[in-house]
Amino acid sequence: MNLILQAVILVILGLAIIARLKHGIVKHAALMGGGLALHTISIGAIMIPSLLSTGMIAQLKKLTTNLALLTMVHATVGSVVEIMGIILLATWLSNITNTQKCFKRKNIMRITITLWLTEIILGILLYMTLYPIT
């Protein structure tokens, strides 16, 4: 389920980038906000419960295992993305009509999308580690 949700988020991010180039900021922001909402839901409804119910906490205590390192990096990057996404969306919503302020945050947005894509890739690797295809 979570892998499908991450694929949907990835498609939404792609559509948001295309929307920014072809349709303007409002459609772009709406799609990014939708992606962020799904990201938030996946963290609260899937990732945290999965972490707590699968014995991953015991694995995380062994910081030298690949699984523990991958999980911690994925969770850290994902948390940073969540915080940055909320801040970017909140600052845009607080002044929707001023597009110049939005353009001034372009570098932060680029960092956020790069981290977000990195987090999705790490999540796929983590999923494949936990549930290998046999």
- 108-132 pLDDT per residue, tens: 989 998 999 999 999 888 888 888 8
User: What's the average model confidence in pLDDT over 65-72?
Assistant: 82
Taking the model in full, what pTM does it have? 0.81
Share of the chain above pLDDT 70, in %: 85
Q: Is the pLDDT of residue 37 over 90?
A: yes
User: What's the average model confidence in pLDDT over 18-43?
Assistant: 88
The per-residue DSSP string of 7-74 comes to: HHHHHHHHHHHHHHHHT-HHHHHHHHHHHHHHHHHIIIIIIHHHHHHTTHHHHHTSTTSHHHHHHHHH
The upper half-sphere exposure of residue 8, i.e. CA atoms within 13 Å in the direction of its Cβ, equals 13
